[in-house]
């Protein structure tokens, strides 16, 4: 049983997945932020790998990647951070949120093997369609790394079986069209869309994009097995990263607020 499957084994409550861009704006701040989030009670950590052209990300997460890259962040350093987190938190699932260029550039087999050795549990290559993913799928299956795929509001139901065929860990449902970023409300058709997905897979569904507070979490958790929050967390790091104590305090408050929607 994988770390992810163990997390989702308990179905009494939806799980909270927190996203940060690794190494934003530097190693120590990112490490401190990750430790604060984990100790505050998140169920899964999603680490964004800094990339120069993050097409699925809104301004907040784009700027986070830019800050990390300006300070010399590399994919290898991201895995070094994973290793440190894994030593401290051996049971916490860690997902890499990345773009296929970074995987391909390293060599697919090498990238997945190195990720597994570092302690990564799953890889989500945002811009890789399932029809083109056979090499990554094979490598993930060989090294027992879960491969996560996206489904969006515009995905035709007829295409869902193709997307979920080789998926594992959980399905990432993008709750709104467009890029990552905070929104004022949760999509009104969420229940209907998740019902369509669950006709074709028994995998848990994690819902992300636009979720930023406890009220949003409560609405999503009524229908999904996991709630994914990113931009509102990244904003705290952006604004308060130069003051580690304040950043940690605000991250802890944010997680407390988000988890209030799970009770």
Q: Name the helix (H) or strand (E) containing 127.
A: none
Dist CA 97 CA 48 (whole Å): 5
**E strands of 60-200, at which residues?**
94-98, 122-125, 146-147, 150-151, 171-174
**E strands of the chain, at which residues?**
15-21, 44-48, 94-98, 122-125, 146-147, 150-151, 171-174, 205-208, 226-229
Dist CA 98 CA 48 (whole Å): 6
Indicate if 88 belongs to the active site. Answer: no
- Residue 78: CB atoms within 10 A of its CB come to 25
Catalytic residue among 43, 46, 121, 238: 46
* Sign of CA pseudo-dihedral 194, 197, 202, 207: negative
Indicate if 76 belongs to the active site. Answer: no
Token output for 110: 């090498």
Q: Are 173 and 205 in contact (CB under 8 A)?
A: yes
Catalytic residue among 57, 121, 146, 182: 57
User: CA angle, 132 as apex, 161 and 74 as ends, to 5°?
Assistant: 120
Q: Is 50 exposed, middle or buried (0-12, 13-18, 19+ CB in 10 A)?
A: buried
3-state secondary structure of 171: strand
Active-site positions?
46, 57
């Amino acid at each position: 049983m994988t770390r992810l499957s163990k997390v989702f084994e308990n179905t009494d409550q939806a799980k909270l997945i927190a996203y940060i861009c690794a190494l934003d704006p530097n190693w120590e701040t990112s490490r401190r932020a990750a430790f604060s989030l984990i100790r505050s009670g998140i169920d899964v950590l999603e680490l964004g790998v800094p990339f120069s052209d993050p097409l699925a990300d809104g301004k907040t997460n784009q700027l986070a990647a830019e800050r990390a890259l300006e300070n010399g962040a590399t994919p290898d350093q991201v895995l070094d951070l994973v290793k440190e987190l894994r030593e401290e938190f051996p049971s916490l699932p860690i997902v890499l949120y990345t773009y296929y260029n970074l995987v391909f550039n390293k060599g697919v087999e090498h990238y997945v093997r190195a990720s597994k050795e570092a302690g990564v549990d799953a890889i989500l290559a945002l811009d890789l369609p399932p029809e083109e993913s056979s090499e990554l799928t094979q490598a993930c299956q060989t090294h027992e790394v879960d491969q996560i795929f996206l489904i969006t509001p515009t995905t035709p139901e007829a295409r869902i079986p193709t997307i979920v065929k080789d998926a594992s860990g959980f399905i990432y449902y993008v709750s709104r069209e467009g890029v990552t970023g905070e929104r004022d409300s949760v999509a009104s058709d969420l229940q209907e869309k998740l019902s369509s997905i669950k006709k074709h897979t028994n995998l848990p569904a994690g819902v992300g994009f636009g979720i930023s507070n406890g009220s949003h979490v409560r609405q999503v958790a009524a229908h999904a097995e996991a709630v994914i929050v990113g931009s509102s967390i990244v904003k705290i790091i952006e604004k308060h990263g130069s003051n580690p104590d304040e950043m940690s305090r605000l991250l802890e408050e944010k997680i407390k607020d988000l988890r209030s929607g799970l009770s």
